Structure 1
Amino acid sequence: MYIKIISVALSAAIITGCSTRGVKIHSTRPAAKHYETASTTKGSSYVHPTMRPYTVFGKRYYPTKVRVGEKFTGISSWYGPDFDGKATSSGEIYDMHALTAAHKTLPMNTVVKVTNLDNGKNVVVRINDRGPFVGTRIIDLSNRAAHAIDMVDKGTARVRLEVLGFEGKKSKNIASKKELRSGPQEMVSGSTYALQIGSFSKIEGALITQAKYDNFRGYHTVIKDTEYNNKRIFRVWLSGFKSEAEARDFKSDSPFDKAFIVGE
């Protein structure tokens, strides 16, 4: 017997950005209330709820693992006020002012950069819903994200998606340019401590700092996309320290006099 899950994030149905929300997603197993990761457990038949196949309009969809650096192109739509405050497929409440999006098969909490190919504008969003299920559209952006790439009035746009990383509960890792150049790879962190070497309200400043110090003395940089006092903050961490003592010794003999140690 199918378990019915109400999805907010279905695709925009017409060019104004209105959506065909209310379509029921059928999954072979009940969904969990909280989603920490989007992966399968090795050596087990368990499949995380966000990775289970589901059916919409008679078509079967299979969520698929992706790697940092992978790119996709297609048509984007958006959804807004009519669905604000309603539940998404991940169990979160849709907030049209948040930088989120819906995708048919990307794992929940995948972080992607969406570039409007018509004007070059881009925005970083987190996948937390399923859709769009209209035509060949590949992503459904929140109202705020759609405004960021100037596609609200038109309703749809030609876009390129680039996988940047995968979010945890409250923050997400964004790959460095070096990691992207080395080819698709999973975002994995084996270190315990890091130094926060910068904090920015705009991602551009964080990306510049990340590129400047990536692989500095053998340590790598990551960007943590977080919220503080209801504001989006991009924190740059120099990562790879195996102990607090190692991080402290490094800091004492480095140009990062204002940096501080954080646990990963």
Structure 2
Amino acid sequence: MKYSILIIMALVFCTNIVLAQNKVQIKYTDSSKIVYGKASFYSRSLDGSRTAIGTKFSHEKMTGASNFFKLRSWVRVTRLATGKSIIVYINDRMPSYMAKKGRAIDLSRKAAGKLGFLHLGLTKVKVEEVFNDTEH
């Protein structure tokens, strides 16, 4: 009986750790929002499809899809494993299930390549707004 309670407590603790790793963390500063989560990149099949702002998606542009920043925002994406960062334009939205799985941003292949994670598929990132076109 004593061991079964310990096993149950250990399972609950480990489950909470796994779930916490899949969540997006949002922090607010005086001037901006910072989002921690995972980055992925668009499927090749989406090249040429319409984005949420009405433009055609291209893997050759430095763009991204995010549900955490306004459309037409410029954001800095920093790969936490290497400290490498890039600036991308938010021109699309992700499917909501991706955000629930801990995705902070979905990048073009060019952007993912510059961050160096094409071979991985996913990487942990920090995303912070640099400029918002809708405010000007």
Q: How high is the TM-score relative to the length of structure 2?
A: 0.70
2:132 alignment partner, one of 166, 178, 181: 166
1:149 alignment partner, one of 104, 115, 132: 115
2:58 alignment partner, one of 95, 103, 112: 95
- Structure 2 residue 89 is matched with structure 1 residue 126: yes
State the number of aligned residues.
Answer: 105
1:1-264 correspondence to structure 2 within 5 Å: 68-132=31-95, 133-134=97-98, 135-167=101-133
- Pairwise CA distance, 1:167: 3.0
Deviations 1:93-138 (A, max 9, x none): 1011100000114211111000000111111001000015321111
Counterpart contact for 1:114–1:161, Cα < 8 Å = yes
Counterpart contact for 1:68–1:163, Cα < 8 Å = no
Counterpart contact for 1:68–1:164, Cα < 8 Å = no
Q: How high is the TM-score relative to the length of structure 1?
A: 0.37
Task: Tell me which amino acid in the other structure corresponds to 1:142.
Answer: S
Counterpart contact for 1:110–1:166, Cα < 8 Å = yes
Task: Tell me which amino acid in the other structure corresponds to 2:122.
Answer: T
- Bigger helix fraction: 2
Moved over 3 A (4+): none
Report the identity percentage: 30
Report the 3-state secondary structure (helix = DSSP H, G, I; strand = E; otherwise coil) of the residue aligned with 2:106. strand
- Pairwise CA distance, 1:68: 4.7
Task: Tell me which amino acid in the other structure corresponds to 1:109.
Answer: R
Task: Tell me which amino acid in the other structure corresponds to 1:165.
Answer: F
Greater C-alpha Rg: 1
Report the 3-state secondary structure (helix = DSSP H, G, I; strand = E; otherwise coil) of the residue aligned with 1:82. helix
- Pairwise CA distance, 1:70: 2.4
Unaligned runs of 5+ in 2: 1-29
Counterpart contact for 2:78–2:85, Cα < 8 Å = yes
Higher RCO by CA contacts (8 Å cutoff, separation 6 or greater): 2
